[in-house]
Chain A
């Protein structure tokens, strides 16, 4: 318990909080990695995931390759990149982009895939173009899962960004490394508390966002539906007619 108090004392020591190498600055670095990496990963993975979900093509490749990406150890990657492109912020950023891609990719295609095939069929039969089917039907209805993917990507990166100091990339890992080296347990624990708190805050924000982005009609149905009706069938295997692109 004393250690925790020491940790908090370390955090709230004004000398540690501000300044270029202070806690606020390191938090800013940690968050920059997080949102920078997730934004870059999003630009790559979300369009790809939507395309896979919409066309149903390349799904197996996506599953396999994102499984493969997930299996890569971040620290190993980081070191390889640091050796390849030098130390600084680039190697960690690249590592975290790769870390975030699988979650975002699977969130995007799972979101589109989970949309009731009959709804998509009806939209197409009304005369929507493929683009309109994607943007006006599949995307809004798949948004909760897509945001779920972003959420887990953000959480993974924010937790892993402490590794950046291995490539002299700053962020909160600096304190942990420092604390370990100098056996300054107050610093070690203080920094861990900050990382944990950061992750919890982000988690809370995303849980809220995810709730907000459930399409209105879908929640409306869940709330007012008193009659028990089976949950709407999901991506049905072998539902009779799905042709017509």
Chain B
């Protein structure tokens, strides 16, 4: 469990990116932070591994103040996957994946063996292990990024728009892959996106943020969909545009679900 208690982040230039945030991120679930650009999602995420230092408040992991820990050690115990994959261009795929275990003192041969298994996990062919990142497609690089994030078998995985830079088809593949991985591994995932559909797809809990990291609404996708608590939320999730306002029409004796424009999207099974 990760807990923020009245955490504020003020950057040296005076920008208050996160203003007195209190948030509980439950263990072994996926929590998605969603909000428009500049709402403070990345800042919140990076305060968890201390890549951004908080200005005030408390941040705890499993009841332990993260400021009592050495930041390097903390980071090695937390997986981090970012939008541009952030792979080291001068290291082969396999060496990128083994970076953290090797830093942690795992024997190279052993780490490589584990890394190959991880490539399977994220759906990458083992033959890519000896390539350099620049020789991979964007989607493949993201998979390597995920494998690297998982390599030290961390309890916590931070993901900052990891699928933001790939085309919709690859993105959907990667999302399904992540859902499968999470079913198997049960990590505490904190996932940042500004795509509300992605948030609803992946999140056990969705946290909708407004400027300054203020929570507009927090809950399961169903809770947020069924009862948006403000106009902002309604707009953000698309309820006002009727995108989510589906209705049922009976066609040929079956319940067909149609959207606002009357386009069928599926059939209700009863």
**Residues on A facing B (Cβ under 8 Å):** 116, 118-119, 121-129, 132, 136-137, 140-141, 215-218, 220-222, 224-225, 240-241, 243-244
Is A221 a contact partner of B132 (Cβ separation < 8 A)? yes
Cα(A243)–Cα(B13), bound, Å: 13
B42 adjacent to A216 (CB under 8 Å): no
Whether, in the assembled complex, B35 has its beta carbon less than 8 Å from a beta carbon of chain A, the answer is no
> What mask results when residues 175 to 208 of chain B are scored 1 for a CB within 8 Å of chain A, else 0?
0000000000000000000000000000000000
Chain B neighbourhood of A124, CB < 8 A: 51, 75
Is B153 part of the binding interface, using a Cβ–Cβ cutoff of 8 Å?
A: no
Residues of B within 8 A of A224 (CB): 134-135
Q: Of the candidates B75, B88, B92, which one forms a contact with A119 in the assembled complex, judged by CB atoms under 8 Å apart?
A: B88
Q: Complex Cα distance A126/B74, Å?
A: 10
Closest chain B residue to A132 by CB distance? B103
User: Taking the complex as formed, is B73 at the interface, i.e. its CB lies under 8 A from any CB of chain A?
Assistant: yes
B259 within 8 A of A: no
Given A216-B132, A220-B134, A224-B135 in contact, is the A241-B86 Cβ separation under 8 Å?
no
Closest CB in chain B relative to A122 CB, distance in Å:
3
How far does the alpha carbon of A215 sit from the alpha carbon of B92 in the complex, in Å? 11
Q: Is the CB of B103 within 8 A of A141?
A: no
CB neighbours (8 Å) of B84 from chain A are 118
Q: How far is the CA of A141 from the CA of B87 in the complex (A)?
A: 13
Q: Which residues of A contact B4 (CB under 8 A)?
A: none
B211 part of interface (Cβ distance < 8 Å): no
**B82 at the A/B interface (Cβ < 8 Å)?**
yes
Interface centre among B11, B51, B88 (most CB of A within 10 A): B88
CB pair A127–B51 under 8 Å, yes or no, is no
User: Which residues of A lie under 8 Å from residue B134 when comparing CB positions?
Assistant: 217-218, 220-222, 224-225
Does any Cβ of A come within 8 Å of B90's Cβ?
Answer: yes
Assess whether A126 is in contact with B99, with CB atoms less than 8 Å apart: yes
A127→B148 CA distance, assembly (Å): 12
Chain B positions within 8 Å of A119 at CB level: 86-89
Q: List 26 A-B contacts (CB under 8 A).
A: A116-B89, A118-B86, A119-B86, A123-B86, A124-B51, A125-B51, A125-B86, A126-B103, A127-B74, A128-B99, A128-B103, A141-B90, A215-B90, A217-B88, A217-B90, A217-B132, A218-B90, A220-B134, A221-B89, A222-B134, A224-B135, A241-B42, A241-B51, A244-B50, A244-B51, A244-B52
B interface residue count range (under 10 / 10 to 19 / 20 to 34 / 35 or more): 35 or more
Q: Which residues of B contact A127 (CB under 8 A)?
A: 72-77, 100, 103
Contacts of A118 in B (CB 8 A): 82, 84, 86
B142 at the interface (CB under 8 A from A): no
State whether the Cβ of B53 lies closer than 8 Å to any Cβ in chain A: yes
**A126: which B residues are within 8 A, CB to CB?**
75-76, 80, 99-100, 103, 148
Q: How far is the CB of A234 from chain B (nearest CB, A)?
A: 13
State the 10 A-B residue pairs at the shortest beta-carbon distance, nearest first.
A221-B134, A122-B86, A127-B76, A217-B132, A215-B90, A244-B51, A127-B75, A220-B132, A217-B90, A125-B80
Instruction: Give the contacting residue for B89; candidates A121, A129, A136, A218; CB below 8 A.
Output: A218
A218 to B92, CA, bound (A): 11
- B133 close to A (CB within 8 Å): yes
Q: Is B171 part of the contact surface with A, judged by Cβ < 8 Å?
A: no
Per-position binary interface string of chain B over residues 67-108, scored 1 when its CB falls under 8 Å from any chain A CB and 0 otherwise: 000011111110010101011111110000001100100000
CB distance from A129 to the nearest CB of B (A): 5
Q: Which residues in B have their C-beta under 8 angstroms from that of A222?
A: 134
B43 within 8 A of A: yes
Distance between A201 CB and nearest chain B CB, rounded to angstroms: 30
Q: Are A243 and B103 in contact (CB under 8 A)?
A: no
CB distance from B146 to the nearest CB of A (A): 13
Which of A122, A215, A220, A240 lies in contact with B135, CB distance below 8 A? A220
Write the nearest CB–CB distance from A67 to chain B, whole angstroms.
Answer: 29
Contact, CB under 8 Å: B72 / A129: yes
Interface contact B87-A122, CB-CB below 8 Å: yes
Give min CB distance, A200 to chain B, whole Å. 31
- For B53, the chain A residues whose CB sits under 8 A away are 243-244
- Is the C-beta of B28 less than 8 angstroms from some C-beta in chain A? no
Question: Who on chain A is nearest to B17 by CB?
Answer: A241
